Amino acid sequence: MSSKPKVAFYWNASCGGCEEAVVDLAEDILQVVEAVDIVFWPVALDFKKKDVEAMDDGEIAVSFINGAIRTDEQREMVELLRRKSGLVVAFGSCAHIGGIPGLANFYNRELIFDRAYRTVPSTPNPDGVLPRTSSDIDDDELTLPEFWDTVKTLDQVIDVDYYLPGCAPPPDLIMDAVTAILEANLPEKGTVLAPRKNLCDTCPRSESKPDKISIESLKRPYEIEADPEKCFLEEGIICLGMSTRSGCGERCINANMPCRGCFGPAEEVFDQGAKGLSAIASILGLEKEEELTDEDIERLIDRIPDLAGLFYMYSLPSSLLRRKKL
């Protein structure tokens, strides 16, 4: 029997990008495979739930779990993995703070089903059939897991030891985390395994950023060709680097796209969306702010539709409000 530490990977409400991130470790993955035994990884290996059930409690050294939680089946699986694992790492934005699937918290099951199965033009469904937890087909019962009204982060469902942020987490942070686990050199429980700085502190554009920026007109990224040397805010494009944790390797910034917050709140930020909103509102029309009427301010703000979706793009389930009450 192998004495290597056992590792599991699991996915929930996610896009598959986190699985891709593991594969993106390239040659480094060989080191990982050398050092550990992967005992469960539905996307790549043929182990089943019953194999996990057959293990002793705590037998898996660490489970890396990606995706938000929004069905009964996902809860059952993460509860099982929690029992069987010494450590659980919330892997990626969706497990950490809710991620893009978390935007569904502006709706509920009924509204989502109605859109996805009835009113969306690309889904012909003349009988208006909706997913059900149980259906009888030719005397057989077919079941589907219950779909929740609310998307939750992993730590709202099970106890989580560490967080690896990002959409998806970058290879260097994954390798740092794996190495720290293998060497038993881990920080305090609950730590986000990424730098403590915010993105603006490490952004290559911050050097040329003027001390004072005043946004005279907000722009959406497609409306202008952004200067790759300038801070996005100078050009009126909302960038959430001030409220977001660094560590992503500035991948979006280097691709000339503004930050949308996938690394979660910077240290000491309680509500990433509210903090981002506050930072942007403060510099809106800053130059002549004394002269602005309330109506002028509204006009400046109204250039951007769906501000809540923008400021809470990745963090709605972990925000103070958590969802819209319908």
Partner 1 sequence: MSEDPRIVVFCCNWSIYPGLQLSAIDENPDDLPGVSHIVSMCSGRVSPELVIEAFVNGAWGVMLAGCPTDECEHDGNYKTRKRFIMLRKVLEEFGIEPGRISMDWFSTGEVAKLKQSVREFVDRITEMGPARVVKEQELG
- By the criterion CB under 6 A, which residues form the site for ligand SF4? 199-200, 203, 205-206, 209, 231-233, 239, 241, 253, 258-259
Question: Measured on CA atoms in the order 185, 188, 194, 195, is the torsion positive or negative?
Answer: negative
Q: Is 212 in the site for partner 1 (CB under 8 A)?
A: no
Q: Is the peptide bond before 168 cis (omega within 30 degrees of 0)?
A: yes
**Phi and psi at residue 289, in whole multiples of 5°?**
-65, -25
Query: How far from chain centre, in Å, is Cα 254?
Result: 20
Nearer to ligand SF4, 8 or 253 (CB): 253
Say which entry of ligand SF4, partner 1, none residue 277 contacts (CB below 5 to 8 A, set by partner kind).
Answer: partner 1
Binding positions for partner 1, 245-284, rule CB under 8 A: 270-271, 273-275, 277-278, 280-282, 284
Q: What is the DSSP letter of 57?
A: T
Neighbours of 70 (CB within 10 A): 28
Nearer to ligand SF4, 96 or 205 (CB): 205
Cβ 284 vs Cβ 215: under 8 Å: yes
Mask of contacts with partner 1, 148-177, x by CB under 8 A?
A: xxx-x-------------------------
Say which entry of partner 1, ligand SF4, none residue 231 contacts (CB below 5 to 8 A, set by partner kind).
Answer: ligand SF4
CB of 312 to partner 1, least distance (A): 8
Say which entry of partner 1, ligand SF4, none residue 321 contacts (CB below 5 to 8 A, set by partner kind).
Answer: partner 1
CB of 209 to ligand SF4, least distance (A): 5
Helices (H), the chain: 17-23, 28-35, 49-53, 72-84, 93-97, 109-113, 171-182, 199-202, 251-254, 272-283, 294-301, 307-311
Say which entry of partner 1, ligand SF4, none residue 289 contacts (CB below 5 to 8 A, set by partner kind).
Answer: partner 1
Beta bridge partners of 244: 265
Give me 165's structure tokens: 């942020």
Q: Is 15 in the site for partner 1 (CB under 8 A)?
A: no
Q: Taking Cα atoms as reference points, which of 194, 153, 137, 158 lies closest to residue 66?
A: 153
Contact residues for partner 1 (CB under 8 A)? 106, 108, 148-150, 152, 270-271, 273-275, 277-278, 280-282, 284-285, 289-290, 292, 294, 297-298, 301-302, 306-309, 311, 320-326
